[in-house]
Structure formats: C-alpha cells, structure tokens
Structure 1
C-alpha cells in the first residue's frame, strides 16, 4: 500500500484496545504506513508485553494505559497525545468487551452496565474529546473509525448487551457523520465478520457462555459456512479510512465479512 502511505504519513492515530487482537493489528498496520500511533489499553501490563512488536518504529509510538470509560482518563489521554505528537488526526475506537451470549431475560444488570459502559460510553467519551480537539485546531480531514460487529445489524452474533452496544455505536457513527460532515471531521463504521481474537475466549474463560446463545450462534455460523478473517485484513481497511484517500467517505457502514451477510 505504497500510495496509502503517502496519505497516512505524519498523521497521528489513537487506537484504543491496541494491545491485543484487532486493535494491535490496526496499530501495527498504521505504523507500517508511516503514521504516528498512540496505543492505549486498559491494562498497563498488557501494553508493556507488546512493546517489542513495535520496535521497528519505536520513535513513532506512544503507549498510554487508560480506562476508556473514565472521562478524566480520556481527557488526559487526548492531552498527552497532543503534547507528544503535536495534534491528533485519527481516532480508532476499537476497545470492547463481549457478553456471555445471554438473552435480555437472563443477563445481570451488572454485566449489562459493564458492556454498555465500555462499548458505548467509551467511544462517546473519546469521540467527544477528539472532536473538540479537531474543532479547536480547525481540522480539515480528521477521521473517527468505529469498530462495530455483525451484531451492529443482526441479533444472533452476541447476547443482549453486546448486540445493543454495537447497534448503539452504529447510531453514534451516523450522528457524528451528520453533525460534523461540513466541519472537517469524518466518521465511519467497520463491521468485521468472525476473527481470531480473544474477545469471546476471555469472557468464556471467566464465566462460561450461555448455552442457548452459543447454540444459536454456532448454528448460524455453520449454516453460512462463515469464514474466519485475519485481523490484518480488517486493519488494512482501517488504514484506508484513516488516510486522506477516503475523504469522500463519512457515515459509511462497511462490512468486512467475506460476503456472509449478503446471504441473509
């Protein structure tokens, strides 16, 4: 993607959930294309464990632990990014947690609140802080990229909390795109299909998945012969949306699912 590199070079990109899974792939892909990258994650220990993978351009990477659901932490994150690199150009809202595939009649208020806080309040707080920075410097092509899911459109990909959260992020994307379309700020949503990440595994190891929800998901996946995407494939799409080459795109919902939802 040599031509894309010219349009991401020197742009500063903040990637939440950047220490693992899709977030790490996105951060590495942006770095490879010449961007400055701020990698943030909730767990400082996890952040420290991946620093070696970013050594090739370590001068262009900043690692900052932060709780994306904490308003003060988010303001500090944006402030430190600007202090270090001069400005912020791109926000990638990738941090997220899964539920246990529980239906609304069974999910606990605690898990509901936890999933909605991380998956919806986090992107809201980050987008708000980033947008105010973009406006303050009269940005002409700032970009916010939200990572959704097939659960942003369908009900079989997650439990009640996760599905609701991903639908909400789709709405947030549309709202940002509508209000700031003439103010130099773009916002788009990427909807990946199945990927080899630890988002489901971590929750399953903690509490176990809901049996009925698991059966429904497995049945759909088997019926559609759902392929597993490499996180690098989705990361390449994010690199394009982060670059000035995608300047005409805002409010777009882009499925990166190998055409699976075209069958539904």
Structure 2
C-alpha cells in the first residue's frame, strides 16, 4: 500500500513530461500504487531509456505504455488520449506535468519567441490535454476522474521565474479552478500542486549555469535560491502527493491549490 492507499489500483493514468524530474517520480509512484500508466515525453530516446532503466523495474510491462509526442500539437494530443484508451480501455487520470522554464527575463526584455514557446508548452499543452481527457471522461460517464496540474510557486508569486514562466503558471492555476468549477458535479476533479524547489535537473542547471540569464534575473535567482536552500523537496515527496490526488482516496478534493514547499512561503 502506498501513500495513495488502494485508490490507485487499476486506475489508468496519462502523465506528460514523464521521462525526467518530477514527471519520472510521478510515473514510478503511480506504478508502485498499482496503476496502469501511459507516459508521454517529447523525447522518444529519453522515454525509452528511462523506461528500460527504471519504469520496468517498478511495474509489469503490461501496465506501461510509452507515447512520445509534442503536447503543443492538437493532433498529437488527441492521439495520446486515443492510444491510451485503445491500450488500456479507458482513461481515469491526467497528470499535466510537461513544462519548460524561461531565463528569468522581465517583460521589458522578453523576446516574443520565448514568450510563445513557454506559453505553448506550459499552458496550451495542459489546455489541449484537459479538453481531450474531459470529453473522454464525459463520454464514458466517469464518476471519479481526476486531472492533476503541476504548477509552481510561480503560480502565485512573482519572484520564482521570469515573465513568461510566471504568467504561464498563473494561467495553469486559473485553468485548474475553472475546470474544477464547471465539472465538479460531472464526476471530474481537478487540482493543482505547487512545488517549491526540487532536486531536478532544471533547478541544478539554472543554479550552476548563468549563461543567457538576464542580469536582473540573476539577482532574482540568487534571492530565490537563498530562500529555498533549506526547503528543497525530493521529487518523490511531491510525487506521493500527486499520486494521492490521482487516486480515489482523494475523492473530496477538487479545485484545491496545494503548496508543497516545506512552508517556505509562510515566511513571506
């Protein structure tokens, strides 16, 4: 029995951004809880590599489906849902974890190309996936379907990223709230997890490499890292929370905005 109790057993989950970082830990937590998991990532090579190295050790091959694809492409997103349903029979849970960071650029110096790229992955992706998943949930008369969106402290605060990333994560919070409100009586739940600093490649790379970082962003990053240094979460900790929200054990929760930051924002 995992942190999600028995509420994951047999559940069919689709996790985007599952080849690394938090996404990988979420996949492992779901497999360990007895779920069937479709895993998507834009990199087919990374997806297959981590599956061979880790996923197959934690769940039978029959419980795992690898689906490389770009979450910003509506046609690809439809195929991710269709292939998951075709393989496992239905979909119960969507975890929108795929995301990219910016370079802490303030709006006055932010390029439109970077703005568009960050919003495409971080906002349009979850929108497209949620739309397809919800239509599937409704068509089969789901009674406890679950969408878990991965936000950030940047979903609430302005000091955790640049203008593009912060705007995108605020948008995901809004998408979560409206999805929860419109579908709360239709068997569909939607919740948001807001992790603080985590031991992921993105955090390590940003902390160790300042190349291309906006000068003002460097100052902001130093302040953020100073505050987060005693509050870094292991991705497995956050993954357990996501697994709980994906399970039927969390049936009373929808529209919840949950911080997983070791309380760092209580000091603000």
What interval of TM-score do these two structures reach, taking the shorter chain for normalisation? Answer: over 0.9
Q: Which residue of 2 aligns with 1:28?
A: 28
Deviates more, 1:114-123 or 1:57-66: 57-66
Q: 1:5: Cα distance to partner?
A: 4.1
Deviates more, 1:98-107 or 1:45-54: 45-54
Q: Distance in 2 between matches of 1:2 and 1:169?
A: 28
Any stretches of 5+ residues in structure 2 without a counterpart?
Answer: none
1:93-133 residue CA offsets vs partner (Å, 9 max, x unmatched): 00000000000000100000000000000000000000000
Q: Distance in 2 between matches of 1:207 and 1:185?
A: 43
Q: Which residue of 2 aligns with 1:252?
A: 256
CA 77–216 in structure 1, closer or farther in 2 if over 3 Å, else same: same
Matches within 5 A, 1:132-147: 132-147=135-150
Q: Which residue of 2 aligns with 1:184?
A: 187
Q: 1:49: Cα distance to partner?
A: 1.1
Kindly indicate whether the alpha-carbon contact (under 8 Å) linking 1:5 and 1:34 is maintained by their aligned counterparts in 2: no
Q: Distance in 1 between matches of 2:229 and 2:211?
A: 27
| Correspondent of 2:99 among 92, 96, 105 | 96
Deviates more, 1:190-199 or 1:147-156: 190-199
Q: Which residue of 2 aligns with 1:19?
A: 19
User: Over aligned residue pairs, what C-alpha RMSD do you find?
Assistant: 1.6
Matches within 5 A, 1:110-149: 110-149=113-152
Is it true that 1:166 corresponds to 2:169 in the alignment?
A: yes
Q: 1:74: Cα distance to partner?
A: 0.3
Count of equivalent residues: 264
1:54-82 residue CA offsets vs partner (Å, 9 max, x unmatched): 11322200000010000000000100000
Q: Which residue of 2 aligns with 1:153?
A: 156
SS at match of 1:7: coil
Q: Distance in 2 between matches of 1:2 and 1:166?
A: 29
Q: 1:196: Cα distance to partner?
A: 1.4
Q: 1:3: Cα distance to partner?
A: 7.1
Q: Which residue of 2 aligns with 1:107?
A: 110
SS at match of 1:92: strand
Kindly indicate whether the alpha-carbon contact (under 8 Å) linking 1:98 and 1:200 is maintained by their aligned counterparts in 2: no
Q: Distance in 2 between matches of 1:205 and 1:48?
A: 28
Normalising by structure 2, report the TM-score.
Answer: 0.94
SS at match of 1:127: helix
Q: Which residue of 1 aligns with 2:55?
A: 54
Any stretches of 5+ residues in structure 1 without a counterpart?
Answer: none
